[in-house]
Structures are given as C-alpha cells and as structure tokens.
Structure 1
Amino acid sequence: MVAIENQSQAVQAQVQRAAEAARIPKEARRLLHELAAAWPNVADCRALEVVPLKGAMTNEVYQVRWLTAPAAAAGGEKEKEALKEREIRKVLVRIYGDGVELFFDREDELRTFECMSRHGQGPRLLGRFPNGRVEEFIHARTLSAADLRDPEISALVATKLREFHNLDMPGPKHVLLWDRLKNWLKTAKNLCPTDQANELRLDCLEDEIATLEKEFSGDYHHWIGFCHNDLQYGNIMIDEETNMLTIIDYEYASFNPVAYDIANHFCEMAADYHSEKPHVLDYSKYPDIDEQRRFVKTYLSTSAGEEPEAEEVQNLLQSIDKYTLASHLVWGLWGIISDHVNDIDFDYKEYARQRFEQYWQKKPVVLTS
C-alpha cells in the first residue's frame, strides 16, 4: 500500500513539474536550452525544473534549474561524495505582466537593468525573449518582511540605499514623481467605471497631486538621487556569508527626491506579500520614530563613519513623513490600473483602497505638523 502511495505521489509531482514548465513560453524554453547547452557541467539541458517564485506583483518570476554532472573524483569515498553533492545550475526567468506598458517603458527599464549590471549592482542579463528575459540567479536570500525590522539589516539597507541614490546613471536627472502621478491618474480614470471612480474619489486627486507638488517644492525636498521607487523587502537580497546586499528589480526606478524613496521603503514595512492575504496592509508596522531616526542617521553618515548633524536628520525625517502621502497615491493608482490589466492572483482593488485610505487619514496630520 505504501509503495502505491509513493508511486502516486511521484506521478503527481511529475505532473506538477510538467505544468510549471508549460508556463514558460516556447521562445523562453528555446533560449534556456541554448544557455544550458553552452554550460559544460549541465547534465541534460532539456531536463529543467521550474519553480514559481511568490511575491511578484508586476511580472511572473520563476527559478529554472538543472542538475550538473558530478565532479570528477579520485574514486572510493570521494567519488561517492561527489555524486551526492551534485550542484544545481540556476537562472531566473521573468515573464512580463500584462499592461506593464501603462506603468513604464520596458526598453528604458532594460537599459537601466543593463547599466546597473555594469555598475556591479545587480544580476547579469543572460538573454531576452518577446515577453520577458532570463537573468543571472543571485545566490543570496531574499529578505522577509520581518527582516526589515532587524536593526542590523535595516542599517545595511540604509547604507546600500545611499549608495544606490548616488549612482551616476545616464539620462535626464529630472524628478519623475509628479508626471508619473498625473499620467497614472489619467489612465486610472479611463479604466475605472464611474461607481468605482466615485468610491475612490479619483476626481479629487488631480488637485491633491498639484497641492503636494507645490507643498514639496522647497529646496531640501529636492535632494535628488537615482531612486528605486519600489524598495519592498522582496527586492532586496542578502548574502549571509558576507552580509552584502543587492537591490533588484528596477522597473520603476528613476530620478526622484531621495526622501520619497525612503518614505516608500517605510510604507512597505506594512506589507507581507507572502502571507495568506498578501494584499492586506498593517500600518501598525510602520517604523516608529526611533526606527526612522536610526535609519536616517545611518543613511546620512559619511563613509568615514561620521554622524550627521541633528538638524540634517530632522529635516530629512520631516521630508520623509510628507512623501509618504505621495507613496500612497502612487501605489493606490497602481493598484487600480493593475486591477483592470493584470491577471496575477492579487487583490489589487483592495490594496488600492487601503493606500488611498491611508492617504486621506495621514494628510491632515502631515501637512499641518
């Protein structure tokens, strides 16, 4: 009886693997076979295993892996160990989500990806297919929601983010935030039925965006850097042997006020995209003032380890607090648009509602403080 159950489980697992492999487009599979065939240690270039990676909400992301041939050994016990320790060759396959052209220009994003790779900041591009690409698989652990609350990891993120903001990236250095908000609002209005637009108060948002842009026009708020704009925990990886961080996924990256990028990172601490209800946000997890100050002091510290002036820390903290409002509007609009164009299993509409709710709750407090 046990043997029959084991056989049944093996068949089910084989069917599951075949189903996952079928989700990879034909053009991508051809590219994967060519890549694997060029690697001398891959045992069988067509014997690939596909593992979906959770937490992505713009694209579908998969780990694809192959068994490598066992390393040569001198015989006896060494040979047995080599057979047991067959390595796995891995790559990452990114299949672009539906409707992404409404959010960003894919060619611009790819140029950013390639430039980041040249800077040694992210994975290498291994190949492209019509609706996606194959990337180097980084041998590091993706952070969890809980990791962002760890003071040591948070300090690493702050230091890495300052390095990211200082990257000398090509192209115009102007702020994208306000144009993005205005364009996404137009798109959301075009996609939304009237009742939903009324429920989410979309008709008010043009004036809200204009008010924020005017309110944030002071010199300090215009400390501009190359911003990630989507620094949630799933876009940060850590090598646990070296404690080196890698920031990945640059779809939304652009020049923006650095206070906005930090504000967006703080807002992401309310999310756990690997929970049973990944769209539900818990703003009790937004970092308290001590956590915020620790992050900002680390961010502003010089490479020589000198601490920043208290006034500089306070100014940036105030800017960050204001830019949380812009973050809520950006991702609220993103949620509305995604709800109409994306088939990924995520409750975009409810996510958008929560972001807008936070905007209206925080606005009177933030703008009068």
Structure 2
Amino acid sequence: MAVKTNGFTEGSLPEELWKILLSLASSWGDLIDLNALKVIPLKGAMTNEVYRINWPTQNGDPHRTVLVRMYGEGVEVFFNRDDEIRIFEWLSKHGQGPRLLGRFDDGRVEEFIHGRTLSAGDLRDPEISALVAMKLREFHNLDMPGPKNVALWKRMRNWLTKAKSLCSSKVAKEFCLDTLGEEITMLEKELFRKYQEIGFCHNDLQSGNIMIDEQTQSITIIDYEYASYNPVAFDLANHFCEMAANYHSETPHILDYNKYPDLEERRRFVRNYLSLPGNKPREEEVEQLVQDAEKYSLANHLFWGLWGVISDYVNEIDFDYMEYARQRFKQYWLTKPTLLGS
C-alpha cells in the first residue's frame, strides 16, 4: 500500500523524478521498481517539501538513500532559483554540502548526508556551538564567483513591495508596512560601518540547516536558497535569533525569546568564530562584532517578518506564517529603542 505524502506517493512519483531515480540506480548497479521505494517526508522545512527516498540495493547493503527537494509554490519571489542552483553546484564541487544528483521541473535530487540535523537544544551546546562557529567562518570566507555586493537591503525592499501587493489593508496597517520602507533606509544608514566585513552568508542558519556527523564531529551547512553576500554580522544575528525557535515542536511558529543567547553565549560564539589556528582574537574584536551582530538582529526581524507575510499568501506548507511574522515585527519594535538608543 502506497504511503501518502504531502507532495506525492510512492506509487505516483513525477515522471521526470522517476527517470532520474532509475538512472541513478542503474549507475550504482541497482534495480528498483515502484513497489520497492519508500518515500519518507522530512519535517521542519518551511520553503520546500523535502523527502528521503530509499530502495534496496543489489550489493547487500540495507538500502540506497537519496534526498528529494520539491520546490515550494510561489517561493520564487524570495530568490532566483537559477542562482540558487548555481550556488548549490559550486558549493558541491568545492566540498561544501551534498552533491547534486539530478534536476527536474519541480525539484531536484541530492546526495543524502548521513548525519543528523541539529536540534534547537544543540545550538546551545558549547561544544557543538564552537564547531558551528568555525564552520560558519569557513563558509563566510568562500570566494563565490560573481558580484560580491550586499544583497540585504535591496532584497528587503523587493519583499516589502511584494508584501504590500499581496496583503489586505488590515494586515498592512497591523504590520506598519507603509512605514517599513523608512525603517529599512534608516537601518541601512545606522548599521553601516566602514570596517564591516562582507562575506558569503547563509542568511538562514537555523538548526535544521546544520548537520553533524557524530563520528567525525564534522559540521555541514545545507540549504542555500537565501545565501548571498552580506555583512557577516547579519549572519551571526540570524543564527542568534534562530535560537529562539524550535521548528520541530508542536507549535513551530512560536518564538521564545527567553531562549535568545545571553551576552556570554554570544561572546563565546564570536570568539570561536574569530579564532584561527595559533591566533586568538583580541577582546576588542570580539566585543565589536558582538555589538554589531546585536544591532543587525533588527534587520533580521524585518527580513523574516516580511518573509512570513509573503509566505502566508504564496506557500501551502502547514505553518502559521502570519503569526511568525507578527512575532518578528513585535520583537523589532520592542528592541529597537534599546539597540539604537531612540
């Protein structure tokens, strides 16, 4: 009996996907049929639908496994899919993340990484956090081909325009969308620093986008839909803000800012991030980046608040996007006076 998933069933795979799986199986010396497949939906994704697909092998191994990513409806408003694929392929060729195994109209097939995604609690574990910090530094130092311009502010303005075009006047009023353009301009000016480091940022460093191999203790950062060049302080702010979330709970849209990392936790992460073999960072460097990241949390709240508003209209994944947006905007207005002094 076929197992029903949100996107497809074991007995009704898209034809293009089925052809890719047959080709992969043949190249690996396997023979598969629809009755041998197991399709397992993976939880926690909020932009795409993600599945693990298994089938028996011919060489005695228990099963072969690949990951299938079905693109979410309407998410092309957030990023250019061709750019995202280009980034994915480049990272794959340079030893970052899973290999691309095949593409079809509505998604792609990726190498399945044998490890586990981090839990919300893992982000607070000092040893795991140190590994993530070092991996993030490596990620930021990647020399991605193409323009290296900051994408944050233009992207937020585009999202604001889209949000205004989608939502009702009631929602626009509740979230102050008519004044957010001024807020974005103000933040762009207030947060600019001549010394700020620009790097290739992930921009969505939540627990589900970080994997760990517990045998080797190696960290892999996955899912690059939102990746772009930005101030590295914005990426650190994003990671800290994500510690308030637990997307695998019964209420994945609810944020608990009591779990936001305290000052010592943020210092420890930044210290590990800035540390190089034989080179301990100066405390002034640590303090400056901690302060900059804290201010960039404001941009992070607006960024993901706008994402939530738009997603509520374009994405059919079971997630309360509007309530999520409500919490992000609330945190922006709550923390802005303290962080900017006005």
Shift in Å, 1:22: 5.0
| 4+ aligned runs moved over 6 Å, structure 1 | none
Where do 1:40-59 residues align within 5 Å? Answer: 40=29, 42=30, 44-46=32-34, 47-59=36-48
Could you tell me whether the CA contact under 8 Å between 2:118 and 2:212 is conserved in 1?
Answer: yes
Aligned position for 2:275 = 301
Match of 1:35? 24
**Over residues 297-350 of structure 1, what are the superposed CA-to-partner deviations in whole Å (9 max), with x where a residue is unaligned?**
00011122x221111111101100000000000000000100000100000000
- State the 1:226 CA deviation: 0.3
How big is the shift at 1:21?
Answer: 2.0
Q: Return the alpha-carbon distance in structure 1 between the equivalents of residues 337 and 186 of structure 2.
A: 13
Per mean C-alpha deviation after superposition, the further-off stretch among 227-236 and 24-33 is 24-33
Q: Which amino acid aligns with 2:63?
A: I
Q: Distance in 2 between matches of 1:24 and 1:277?
A: 30
Contact 2:2-2:11 at 8 Å conserved across structures: no
SS at match of 1:208: helix
Structure 2: give runs of 5+ residues left out of the alignment: none
* Corresponding position of 1:189: 164
Counterpart Cα distance in 2 of 1:43 and 1:291: 51
> Alpha-carbon deviation of 1:91?
0.4
Structure 1 residues 36 and 105: CA distance shift in structure 2, 3 A: same
8 Å contact 2:204–2:238 — kept in the other structure? yes
Q: Assess if the C-alpha contact under 8 Å between 1:91 and 1:135 holds in 2.
A: yes
TM, length-normalised to structure 2: 0.96
Q: Quote the offset at 1:274 in angstroms.
A: 0.6
The superposition leaves residues 110-151 of structure 1 with CA deviations (integer Å, 9 ceiling, x where unpaired) of 000000001101111100000110000011111111100100
1:100 shift after superposition = 1.5
Partners of 1:352 and 1:287 in 2: CA distance: 21
Instruction: Note if 1:254 corresponds to 2:228.
Output: yes
User: Deviations 1:165-219 (Å, cap 9, x if unpaired)?
Assistant: 0001101111000001110000000001111110111111000000000001221
Question: Which of 289, 300, 304 in structure 2 is aligned with 1:327?
Answer: 300
TM-score with structure 1 setting the length: 0.89
Query: Distance in 1 between the 2:59 and 2:145 partners?
Result: 44
Aligned length: 339
Corresponding letter in the other structure for 1:44: I
In structure 2, the CA distance between the partners of 1:119 and 1:20, relative to structure 1 (3 Å rule), is same
Q: In 1, distance between residues paired with 2:141 and 2:266? A: 21
Q: Are the counterparts in 2 of residues 20 and 52 from structure 1 also a CA contact under 8 Å?
A: no
How far apart in 1 are the matches of 2:59 and 2:283? 58
Q: Which residue of 2 aligns with 1:230?
A: 204
Native 8 Å contact 1:231 1:268 kept in 2: yes
Q: Which amino acid aligns with 1:163?
A: E
- Of residues 47, 53, 60, the one that matches 2:49 is 60
Task: Give the 3 Å change call, closer, same or farther, for CA 180–22 of structure 1 in structure 2.
Answer: farther
From 95, 107, 116, the equivalent of 2:82 is 107
Shift of 1:24: 3.9
Distance 1:272 1:30 in 2: 36
Structure 2 residue 184 is matched with structure 1 residue 209: yes
Q: Percent identity?
A: 64
Alignment partners' CA distance in 2, 1:281 and 1:124: 33
Q: Do the aligned partners of 2:3 and 2:39 also contact (CA within 8 Å) in 1? A: no
Shift of 1:15: 4.0
Q: Distance in 2 between matches of 1:52 and 1:367?
A: 43
Distance in 1 of aligned mates of 2:4 and 2:290:
48
Which structure has the larger Rg? 1
Verify the 8 A CA contact 1:20 1:51 in the aligned structure 2: no
2-structure distance, mates of 1:351, 1:280? 7
Moved more, 45-54 or 228-237: 45-54
Aligned partner of residue 92 in structure 1, secondary structure: strand
Q: AA paired with 2:65? A: K
Aligned partner letter, 1:210: T
The one-character-per-residue Cα deviations of 1:239-281 (angstroms, maximum 9, x if unpaired) are: 1100000000000000000000000000000111110111111
Match of 2:173 in 1: 198
Q: Does 2:143 align with 1:168?
A: yes
Q: How does 1:1-369 map to 2 (within 5 A)?
A: 14-16=1-3, 20-21=9-10, 24-40=13-29, 42=30, 44-46=32-34, 47-69=36-58, 71=60, 86-220=61-195, 222-304=196-278, 306-368=279-341
SS of residue matched to 2:103: strand
